[in-house]
Amino acid sequence: MFSLSQRVQYIGNFSMTIGLVIIALIIGSSHFDLFQKDILRNSQAAIANIKPIVGLRTSRFYGASNGNPKENTRIAFDLNTDLSGLFNWNTKQVFVYLTAEYNNTEKGTVNEVTFWDAILPDADHAIIKLENARSKYSVWDYAGDLSGKDLQFKLHWNVQPHIGPLMYGVAQGDDVIVNIPKPESKV
């Protein structure tokens, strides 16, 4: 006959196997649900009326060093999107963020900065209609200035499930490209 420790080990291994199979089924079915809706590729966003607000900041918290001012950019924008399709029974929350990509001509690299973000706790909060909203973050370019550069704006999302891997995506929409003007004065 089997000893007590062998029986406990068998029950533990069997329970662990059943638990892992259930977790795999949960992950698979929630992914299938999102792929069936085709929301991962077809989420739409309308970003419009982007107005850059450019100023010079002397604080080191805004990129300045040794009292030399640093050019900082904020934006005012309109955003209209419905991300409720990203929610299913396994979705804990959705993290949404508005970014801008631009080319750094000195180094030949593509940089990406985040102007705004939000956490959507449920599908009731997933319909976003913002008018003349201000960016949450003031951004600057470490290598130089943002003025004179073309920024391409995109709305990204990140589905954070209760169980399973994170899923990332970009909402589709018109390419919004804005040229940043020179700063007018100290902010």
Is residue 163 one of the residues assigned to a domain?
yes
21 forms bridges with which residues in the sheet? none
Is 11 part of a structural domain of the chain? no
Residue 70: helix, strand or coil by DSSP? strand
Residue 62: inside a domain, yes or no?
Answer: yes
pTM: 0.80
Which bin fits 95, alpha (ψ -120 to 50), beta or left (φ > 0)? beta
Q: Average pLDDT, whole number, for the chain?
A: 84
17 located within any domain: no
Residues 162-180 have pLDDT tens digits of: 988 888 888 888 778 887 7
Number of Cβ within 10 Å of residue 57's Cβ equals 18
Residue 88: per-residue pLDDT: 87
Q: What total of structural domains would you count in the chain?
A: 1
Predicted local distance difference test score (pLDDT) of residue 58:
60
Expressed as residue numbers, the domain containing 64 is 39-179
Residue 183 confidence (pLDDT): 74
Judge contact between 75 and 135, C-beta under 8 A.
yes
Cα 187 from Cα 184, distance rounded (Å): 9
Q: Which residues pair with 68 in a beta bridge?
A: 65
Per-residue b or e along 139-148, where b marks 16 or more CB atoms closer than 10 Å to that residue's CB: bbbeeebbee
Q: Report the alpha-carbon distance of residue 67 to residue 148 in Å, rounded.
A: 23
CA dist 139 and 15 (Å) reads 51
Judge whether 89 lies within some domain.
yes
Let me know if residue 34 belongs to a domain: no
Asked, for residue 63, whether it belongs to a domain, the answer is: yes
The segments of the chain whose pLDDT lies below 70 read 1, 39-41, 57-65, 67, 105, 184-187
Answer yes or no: is 122 within a domain. Answer: yes
Give CA 160 to chain center in angstroms: 11
